[in-house]
Amino acid sequence: MGNPKQSHVFLLYGEESYLIQENKNKIIEKTLKKEDREFNISQYDLEETPIEDAITDAETFPFLGDGKVVIAYHPVFLKAKPDKLAFEHDTDAFLEYIENPADYTVLIVIAPYEKLDERKKIFKSLKKNAEIISCQPVKEWDMDKWVQTLASELNITIPEEIHELFAQEVGTNLMTLRKEMEKLALNVGEGGVVTKELAEQLLSHSAEASGLKLVDAVMEKNLARAIQIYKDLEKLSEEPIALTALLASQFRIISQAKVLKQKGYAQNQMRAYIKAHPYVIKMALKRERYFTSEELDRIMEELAETDYILKQGKMEKSLAFEMLLYRLIHIKQQKISI
């Protein structure tokens, strides 16, 4: 991340709130002693306050101690299409300050946006005179590294074979991942090892992950497991209509991945055709080889039929969904060579 002591202006930009928080805290820790933090940190929301107010503060000597930190959130003027505000920002004052910052102040500008307009004069000046730190969301292929990093920080061990479970259940939001891992750390204690059973039990379950578990139970021809997953979801007030739609969505992606793979498309090329997170496509490719095209067609027909039955109220919902699971597994009775 570079050395904060060498810079007096920082721009943190991107949509990953965990990285913004972490970098902001690191800068504060390196700038101010603990006892000075109470009086020498001020914060401004630039959607409500003009940038010149933050600049005036940055140019004012610290109340106590040797230095101060001024944090300015939401610099809308850095976006390609700035939001309309009730006032105008004096961006010239900001430009002047970037080029000649007060040596007793560290100014942290936080732009929680996906993109900034790099053609703007202000951005070019920031690039030249400030330290810019990208805080973009994590790519799914970096998940292993992040699970490992956070596990080390929390002094717990998470075996590699269950990393996929974290990506599946929690997704790539680092703030959420950190909270889930803190929960596991509390459970296993310092130096503890997280088992697959514990992770499955304690992680907050996403709907997509539950859908994949149902797909896997069908794939493994395990009706008892499928029914158990359904019963667990029922306790969480998941409706059979919503679960049927979820299964249909999972099998549709598996089917699309199979067709595109047969046509010679690579995983990264499939994103143009399958509107889903790269991780979902990766999971679909892991599963498509367990099904023939004919099986996938029949599965989609069964799902459409059950959706119709549920919406028309032709059968008790819970029973209709259990019958669906039975029929899907029946389609899979013939052994597929992998």
Q: What is the DSSP string of 225-284?
A: HHHHHHHHHHHTT--HHHHHHHHHHHHHHHHHHHHHHHTT--HHHHTTTS-S-HHHHHHH
Q: From 126, 127, 53, 58, select the one nearest 88 (Cα to Cα).
A: 53
Q: 67 and 153: one domain?
A: no
Look at the chain and report how many structural domains it folds into.
Answer: 3
Residue 336 lies in a domain: no
Rounded Cα distance, 301 and 244, in Å: 12
pTM over 0.85: no
CATH number at residue 291: 1.20.272.10
Instruction: Grade residue 190 by pLDDT with cuts at 50, 70 and 90.
Output: confident
| Assigned domain for 3 exists | no
Of the candidates 216, 13, 40, 220, the residue with the CA atom closest to the CA atom of residue 117? 13
Residue 205: predicted pLDDT: 59
Query: Can you give the residue range of the structural domain that contains 161?
Result: 140-202
What's 183's domain CATH number?
1.10.8.60
User: Higher model confidence: residue 16 or residue 59?
Assistant: 59
Structure confidence at residue 208 (pLDDT): 60
75-89, 108-122, 270-284, range with the lowest pLDDT? 270-284
Within this chain, do residues 26 and 128 fall inside the same structural domain, yes or no? yes
80 and 106: one domain?
Answer: yes
Which among 112, 134, 156 is the end of a domain? 134
Mean pLDDT of the chain: 84
Domain boundary (202, 218, 236) is at 202
Does 268 lie in the same domain as 233? yes
Q: What is the pLDDT of residues 112-154, one digit of tens each?
A: 998 898 899 999 999 999 999 988 876 666 777 788 888 888 8
Last residue of a domain, one of 114, 134, 154: 134
99 with 171, same domain? no
* Same domain, yes or no: 36 and 152: no
The Cα–Cα gap between 151 and 130 comes to 32
Q: Which range, of 73-77, 97-101, 196-200, 262-266, averages the lowest pLDDT? A: 196-200
On whether residue 104 sits in a domain, the answer given is yes
153 and 103, same structural domain?
A: no
Q: Are residues 14 and 42 in the same domain?
A: yes
The pLDDT of residue 256 is 93
